[in-house]
Structure 1
Amino acid sequence: MSIAALERTGAAWIADEDSAVLERIHERHVQLALWQRRRPRALDWLDSLDFDEIDDVQKTLAVESLAFCLPGILLEAGYPDGAHTALSQEIGTLACLYAQIMEVESIRMRLEIVETDACRKFHMDNVKARLLMPFTEPGTEWIEVDAAPDSQVRHLRAGAVGLFKGRIWAETPAILHRSPPIAGTGVSRLLLVLDLASPTAFAEN
């Protein structure tokens, strides 16, 4: 679907190649703001990373300390010395952008290695707004609730950034998402998840 087509009145999702599209999550009818982009080439090494040597990361971080804290956090989790610089910069940039949009000073970050169908059913998270960005393929799948039964299941490609409204913010679910089915395939995927540090940190519109 073209970008122009997504500008129709009442669309539940909006996409663009400009990061400014993420700000449109504040529009009442928008439940998914999608920044369509490719993963930076400086992160291509992630495709050959041995995830068996890497730990998941779950941290609540103040935005002002991201640049200082992230490199050490990634090193402690097992990401290779030297190569982690581009990864920490990428996460820091996205975290600052998310915090600015949500008007908060701290965020909850999860950098997860997913090897199962963790959330195999299409759902809406019980949060206000969650940012998802797959660092590797396959990416998160999503659908429109009111679309035809045979509508295409869409997915976030590696590097694309999806800002999804959750049940705390959205009155009625219009966009649902799920983990791609990979159980038993031997595939692992690396996913960045950003949430509010506190469920009450952001005042609803």
Structure 2
Amino acid sequence: MALTELPERVAGNQVDLDVRVAPAVHVSCPTALRQIHNRDTALTVWRRSLSDDVDAELAGLVLGEVDDILFASETGALETALPGAMEQAGYPGLPALTADIAMLARQHAAVTGDAKIRIRLEVVETDACRKFHSDYVTLRTITTYLGEGTQWIEVKARDMAGLSGEPEIRQLGVGDVGMFKGRLWQEAPTILHRSPPIGDTDAQRLVLVIDPAPDEDERAIRLEEKCA
């Protein structure tokens, strides 16, 4: 399926749309994230609450005792690759969190059609990515498990309104899932995002970022794109 196409049905199920505020779309189920295929849509947001099991696991997690995770995997190998990567990074056994990450990775792969994806799970404590931007990837999926969520703005709406002041900043909540089109899909972005500024606080964030695994000739560019 071409990335510019909008499927009327995905995997035999009707894709339901809850609220459309172009270029951002808010949906109520993970399969509807695929509305990102709409030519005019640059962001799909799945508003959700984390499960009680995930919340319980996160409540006992000490962020200072785990390392960041960055690895690429075939989606079919996630059941073994993901637990191994988390164990190596110092995470205790967190089956509910692991299952949630794997589910989001599969949703991402279903949208892009890529069999191989790259997963980054990191603790954020700085303002390294506080500028609004669009990433040099086709599609980026972001969710925040702990701390403040990713912030985003609508570029087109701001420009059309002729506003000279600050744009309206919107923010994903904890557990919300955002699929952001990157510059390799949408050359002129209509949605920009950034990490929320937390450098002057003691705040920490646990953030998951999922990208298509880069080809060798794209690797240098994509590895520089670490903002969420």
Correspondent of 1:88 among 83, 98, 118: 98
After superposition, the C-alpha distances for 1:127-154 in whole angstroms (9 at most, x for unaligned) are: 1110001111201000111235455311
Aligned position for 2:172: 156
After superposition, the C-alpha distances for 1:38-72 in whole angstroms (9 at most, x for unaligned) are: 12221223245211110000000111110122112
Letter in 1 for 2:65: E
Alignment of 1:53-68 (within 5 A): 53-68=65-80
Aligned position for 1:175: 191
- Percent identical among aligned pairs is 41
Aligned position for 2:13: none
Asked whether 1:103 is paired with 2:116, we answer no
Asked whether 1:73 is paired with 2:85, we answer yes
Aligned position for 2:152: 142
Please, which moves more after superposition, 91-100 or 65-74?
65-74
- Structure 2 distance, partners of 1:54, 1:7, is 38
- Structure 1 distance, partners of 2:38, 2:142, is 19
- Structure 2 distance, partners of 1:130, 1:150, is 25
Please, which moves more after superposition, 166-175 or 38-47?
38-47
Aligned position for 1:195: 211
The answer for unaligned runs of 5 or more in structure 1 is: none
- Structure 2 distance, partners of 1:73, 1:54, is 11
- Structure 2 distance, partners of 1:106, 1:125, is 19
Q: Is the 8 A contact 1:21 1:34 kept in 2?
A: no
Q: Is the 8 A contact 1:128 1:165 kept in 2?
A: yes
TM-score, length basis structure 1: 0.88
Please, which moves more after superposition, 161-170 or 66-75?
66-75
Question: Given the superposition, is the C-alpha separation of residues 47 and 115 from structure 1 closer, same or farther in structure 2, using an over 3 Å criterion?
Answer: farther
- Structure 2 distance, partners of 1:24, 1:162, is 12
The answer for unaligned runs of 5 or more in structure 2 is: 1-16, 219-228
Shift of 1:87: 1.2
Letter in 2 for 1:30: T
- Structure 2 distance, partners of 1:101, 1:131, is 10
Asked whether 1:184 is paired with 2:196, we answer no
Alignment of 1:39-58 (within 5 A): 39-44=50-55, 45-58=57-70
Letter in 2 for 1:155: Q
TM-score, length basis structure 2: 0.79
- Structure 2 distance, partners of 1:113, 1:198, is 22
Query: What root-mean-square deviation, in Å, do the aligned CA atoms of Structure 1 and Structure 2 show?
Result: 1.9
Letter in 2 for 1:33: T
After superposition, the C-alpha distances for 1:97-144 in whole angstroms (9 at most, x for unaligned) are: 111111011100000100001211111111111000111120100011
